[in-house]
Every structure is written in C-alpha cells, then in structure tokens.
Chains A and B, each alone.
Chain A
C-alpha cells in the first residue's frame, strides 16, 4: 500500500460500516431451524394462523429442496449450514413495529444508524425511512403529506396485522412462491421485518423511500421481506442499504422482494449492498409488471463473501418495460454471482440490461442472466450489455447469459466485453499529472458512472466511497 493511500483508512467510511455493537436483545431464537422455531417466531410476532401455515409449508419445501451445487462457477455454499444460524433476534426496543422518532431508540441502536448517516439522509433527500436492526424494524417514519395521500410505508410485520387482506393476497403467492428456490423457501419459513409499500392510483412519490438493514450479531441470519404494490399510474423509488460488521462465523442474508407494478406505474428499486465479507447474500427479488408499467432494478453489490442475486422482471402486460443496471465489485475472497432475469410474456415489451463488474485480488464476478421471450410476445426487444474489468491475474470474470427466443418478430441483442484497464488511458491521465493509483481510481469511477448517475446524489457519493475503499492499497 502506498503511503498516499493511507488517508483512505482514516476516512470514516470504513468505520461507519465496521463498528460492532454489543449484542443486546429481548428475545433470541435458538440456533437452527425446526418447526418449533417457526412456531415460536410466529407466536412472538402474534401472527394470524394463515401466516404460520405459510411459514410451515415453506419450511417443508426448504427441507425437501437440494442445495444448488452444480451451477458452473457458482459460489461455494458448503459452509452455509442453516442449523448454525440464529434465525431471529428481536432487539431490545419497547415499541414493537418501530418508533417514529430517532431519539426514542436505545442509545446504542441510535448510534448505529447515526454512524451510518441514515437520520441525516432522511432530513435531506427521502420521503420515508425504515431501519431494521437484526430481525426487527426499529424505526419507521414517513412524511405526513404522503400519509394523507394514502401511501403506506410500514414494516412488514405490522402490515401483516394492519393490511392483512393485501398481504394475504400478495405475500409469496403470485410473485416469489417459496417453491422458487431453496433460499426462497428458507425465507418463507423464517422471514422477519422488511418493508411494505403501497402506493395508490396516480400517486407519484417524488422523493425516494429508504430502508436500511443492519446485522449486528455474530452468526445471525437476516430474512427481511419487502412487498411493494404500486397501483395504476403511480410512481415510487425504493432504496435499500445493507451492512454488517465482520465476524469470524458466517452470517446469512436471505431477503425476499416482491414488486407489483400496476398499469402504467413506475417502480425503481435501488440497492447498495455492503455486507461484511463473512456474509452469504442469497436473495430472491422479482417484479410483475402490468400493461405499460415500468420496472427498474439498480443494484450495487460491493460486500458479502458470496452473493447470488438475479433480480427478475416478468413483463406480463402489453408494452411493459424493464431496465436493469447492476454493478458488482469482487475483491479478495469474494464471489459475486449476479445478473438479471426478464420474461417477456406480452407483445411490445422491452428490456435493457446493463451489467458492469470489477474483479481484483483473486475476486470472482459472474454475470448470469436469462432473457426469455414467449411465443406471442411480438415486437419485443431486449438489449443486454455486460462489461467486465479485471485488475490482475488472480481474479476471474465469467459472463454466462442465456437467451430463449420463442417468437420471431423480435429484436434480441447481447454484447459483452472483458478486459483490463487500458494502459493508454492510464498513460493519458498520468501525463496530466495524476499518479497511477488515482488514474486507476478515476477510470473505475468512470466505468461505474452509468450506475451512480441513476442514484440520488447521497447514494452516488456513498457508492463511490465504497469503491474507493475497495480499491485502497490494492493498486499498482
């Protein structure tokens, strides 16, 4: 590490994610996963019977499904033993469902989110904020003007009680059934926390709502569920951020995200994931898009030991569209296996997928994507572009797209490139007085710009700082 990189260590960015809090909780489930665990969690949450039954059914499916082990180049999941995971920790907070004033939180939790900069961001740029600590949402607030318009933004557990009809209809039924994959089934059995967002017809929520997920305890699993229902003609931008301090034992994050994009509605879902490098991040995210609707998935995957994440859009109605922008950054010991899935099930549907990945110090990035055009989805078009940047000879970059085209009146294009940082580009910048490290830094910032420009400025800055931190000391 060169000396002029040292300052990076001094920035608070690292400290902001790495600090640990002493583990304090009012209720903690035993390690492992049994029917009894599920019943205890469900009872602690005072859930209706149907939710308990859904959990138990999902548990059964989880137990019957095999681990995915035969995908080429996939992360090694042999360490992931759910019996070693503490699936449920209710932090020591008096108000179930979260307080709506930061000062009502216990000092250590408040301090956590202060360090992460969440209350500050809320003041400046957000319509609403939810904050999850371990398994429960501890803070939830939305500006009053949205409440008046009928917009709902609450934690998922509370929604089960207060919006039972909607949740019962949409929760892991039409979009992500537990049978989808082993970790969706696990999620269905032990989900806790997350957000419920409901946007009524023709309502545009003009500033993003945000949820922040923090795992603090060693060896825990976080399984939050996010359900977004955007009615006809509505518009909302949801942002999630994730982090955890690093422990020696592994942590597991297996979230579930379901988005229902109504006719002519527009939903943008942005994620900046910075899990600690002992975390397995195995999520299932999916949107169903009705006629004329538009879904946008923006993801930055920086952290975790292993990520397997392929946000999916099912373009169900005529003229529905999808836009995926993903960036993956894998450093030492990381395997970031990510991509996109789009099903074109109606005529005149459009999708664009833009993927950027960076691998260095033995890290591995995989792009794994599927575009399926069903028979009858005439005049559909899809364009996929994957670019990978590699820093050294220890790293690996795979691009594995799959295209299934059952309709002739379509326009399908896939393009990918892989390469190292151009010597000429570096030379150019050096001749303008930058040193080697700064030049590389600048090229990387330019490489990921398509992603950062989609995010509100605070997040763009955050993402850039994370990238800077990842690059620190590794260059030259």
Chain B
C-alpha cells in the first residue's frame, strides 16, 4: 500500500494556526503536530485486493485538491439532555480539560492510517459528549451541515459508570461549493462500567463529496455500545465502524444501512474484537444498490485467546436493483478461543420474484410493489433504531431515493 504524500498546502504553520484560532491548550496542539508528523509514516487504510480487482481505490483521492485546511466551515446544531454535557471542543477545554486530554485519541489512534492522522491534525469541528455517573441521556442530537470544500470533524463520547446515552448524529451538505469535496468524521466512544451508548449516524452528503468515517468504541465491564450507521449520500464513502469488547460481559451491535445509486461507491466495514469473557456481538448490515452504484463490505469478528464464552453473529444482505451495480463482500471470522458460538452469513440477490408476484397479483403496480419490498428489506435495521427522528429521516431518505 503506497502512502499518499503530504499536500503542499499543509505545514506546521497551518496546524498551529488552526489550533491558535480555536484557543486550544498546549497538549491539543501537540497532538495535532504529532498527527501531522505521522503523515509521512502511515499508509492509507487497508483495502481488500484480490487477483485483478482492487475493491476501493483510495489512491485516486487527490488531497492536494480536496483539502483546504484553513477555510473549513460548518453549521452545527447540538441538542442536549438533562445532566449531560454536549459541547464543541472549544467550549469544553475549560471545564473538561482532564477528561479530554485523557480520552482524546485513546480509542481511535490518530496514527491508525493516513486519513485518521490528517483528520486529527486538521479537525475544526465536532462534539464532546460527557455523561456523568448515573445519568441517562435519552435525547442527544448533533446536526451538522458542511459548508466548505473540506471539513474535518472529531467527536468524543465519554460515559461514566452506570450511565446511558442515546445519540443521533446527522450530516448533510450546506452551501454549494464548486468541485469535489472531502468530509472526514472520527468518532470515539469510551464507556464506563455498566454503561450504555447507542450512537446513530446518518450521512446524506452531496454526491461531489468524498467521505471518510472511522468510529470506534471501547466497551468496559457490562458496557454496551450499539452503532447505527446510515449511508445515503456522498460520491465515495469509506466507513469503518469498530468495537473493542474489553470488559467482561460487554456487548455491541453494529447495524448498518446503505442505499447507493448513480455511480456512488460505498465501502462499509464493521469489525468487533472480543477480548474478555462472556461478550456478545451482533453485526447486521443491509444495503441496496441501484444504477451503477458499487458496494464493498467487510465484516470481521475477531475472538481473542481469552474471550471465553463468546457469542458472535454477523449478517450482511445486499439487494441489487440494477444490472450495472456491483457488490463485493467479505465476512470474516478470526477465532482463537474454542468456547465460542460464532456464525456469519452474507447474501447478494434481487427482489424476490415470488414476493413481487404476490404483490402484483394483489393489484399493486409493479414499481410500487418493488419499492414496498425495498422498504421492507430495511426493516431489520430500522427496528434497531431507538431515536424516532433518526428512523423517520432514514425512512424518508430511502423513500425519496425510490421515487
């Protein structure tokens, strides 16, 4: 894997200026500079390659052209709930400096790859969500609009023991910008003991935007991290959603929905590491492809040597509405402990002929029948969503795409 080169418009001065404009503490600046330094040493994220086929071509991204670090702009609305702190980083440094310093970059290592390092060095937006011990936050929402050519966002969620948070993040394009755009979104979730987080993310960027997101959670004893990842927009999406089950009896669900059309390319990845005893994981992804759209899916269930009594499940289903669409899938099981019940399955196919026949025989017009079946195909994902607004928005976007 070749690493991308450092864009010419990116230097230590750029990073210092970003940090200064945001009035950041010294440690934050230092982290940014470390990430900038790392750019020379790290590679682009791994992409599956089989003989004669590269599943996603990230090398084609021209960061020189895409990245405009000093002109980032967004419009972000944050809805908070009682007892929980939902703040932009710039407003959190005063009160939560220690928590931030201790947790920033702990779950998503900025030096994971070129794109995480670029993001950590340049981010100008994002949210810090802090849930104190015993607090239940039911209704945290972050709605962001991207107004500039490039935008880097970093979100950090920290929950203390026996707390819970249901978070919805929605990402759209705001002002029109000439040419290609780039949006980078890193999300870190660290849970305390016996705490619960559902993090839902709905992305509907315009189709000139290249989108990279890396969401990673670290679940403590009896902790639960549930991810719901909806990808509708963007020209190209590379999405990595991962959970490390580090605490005994911790759990995770990684639920994904995508709907590609035109020439969209959606590279969706769900990965879980079982590192402790009695942990459970359930990975469910459903996607639909129309026109020339292409999807890539990798799911990994990694069961460590010490992960006794593991339960781990994975399902991926892709529905193809057009002959020109393409779908690649690779569900993987990596098992180091025999005290495991693990399974995975993946399917690719079309709308079921018999279902269609049944509907049309009940005098539903063919196109409407197909659309109803597509909407029904997403139900297992929709059912997992705890936030009504998220479910309704996703349903609406799916319905819109079918019109």
Contacts and interface: CB of A to CB of B under 8 A. Distances in A.
Contacts, number: 114
Interface stretch (B12-20, B221-229, B341-349, B368-376): B341-349
B48 A414 contact: no
B300 to A, nearest CB: 9
Interface stretch (A183-191, A396-404, A455-463, A464-472): A396-404
B335 A398 contact: yes
Interface string A356-400: 000000000000001010010000000000001011110111111
Interface residues of B, number: 35
A396 B336 CA distance: 5
A410 B320 CA distance: 9
Contact of B344 (A372, A392, A408, A415): A415
A416 B322 contact: no
B330 interface: yes
A402 B342 contact: no
Interface stretch (A97-105, A297-305, A328-336, A417-425): A417-425
A25 interface: no
Interface string B156-185: 000000000000000000000000000000
Given A403-B348, A409-B323, A416 B328 contact: no
B50 A404 contact: yes
A388 B348 contact: no
Contact of A398 (B50, B330, B334): B334
B321 A401 contact: no
Where chain B touches its partner, the secondary structure class is: strand
A416 B314 CA distance: 10
B322 A415 contact: no
B345 A414 contact: yes
Contact of A399 (B321, B327, B332): B332
B350 interface: yes
Given A396-B335, A405-B327, A414 B340 contact: no
A154 to B, nearest CB: 33
A412 interface: yes
A408 to B, nearest CB: 4
A370 B343 CA distance: 18
B346 A411 contact: no
A403 B338 contact: no
A396 B344 CA distance: 17
Given A418-B340, A419-B342, A412 B334 contact: no
A413 B320 CA distance: 14
Contact of B329 (A390, A397, A403): A403
B345 A416 contact: yes
Given A415-B345, A418-B335, A418-B340, A404 B305 contact: no
A221 B321 CA distance: 51
Contacts of B321: 408
B21 interface: no
Contact of A402 (B330, B335, B350): B330
Contacts of A419: 338, 340-342
Nearest to B342: A418
Contacts of A28: none
Nearest to B314: A416
Contact of A388 (B328, B335, B346): B335
Most buried by A among B48, B50, B345, B348: B348
B339 A408 contact: no
Contacts of A409: 323, 350
Contacts of B53: 372, 404
A343 B349 CA distance: 17
A410 B349 contact: yes
B334 A413 contact: no
B113 interface: no
A5 to B, nearest CB: 21
A407 interface: yes
Given A393-B337, A408-B325, A401 B330 contact: yes
A420 B340 contact: yes
A390 B322 contact: no
A420 B325 CA distance: 39
Contacts of B332: 398-401
Contact of B343 (A393, A405, A415): A415
A244 B178 CA distance: 68
Given A404-B50, A405-B328, A419-B340, A397 B333 contact: yes
Contacts of A410: 320, 348-350
A418 B343 contact: yes
15 contacts: A390-B340, A392-B338, A393-B339, A395-B338, A399-B333, A402-B330, A403-B328, A403-B348, A405-B318, A408-B321, A414-B331, A415-B345, A416-B333, A419-B338, A420-B338
Given A402-B330, A408-B323, A416-B345, 15 more contacts: A390-B335, A390-B337, A390-B338, A390-B340, A392-B338, A393-B305, A393-B337, A395-B336, A399-B331, A401-B331, A401-B346, A402-B328, A403-B348, A414-B345, A418-B341
Closest 3 CB pairs of A and B: A390-B338, A408-B320, A412-B348
Interface of A: 73, 370, 372, 375, 388, 390-393, 395-420
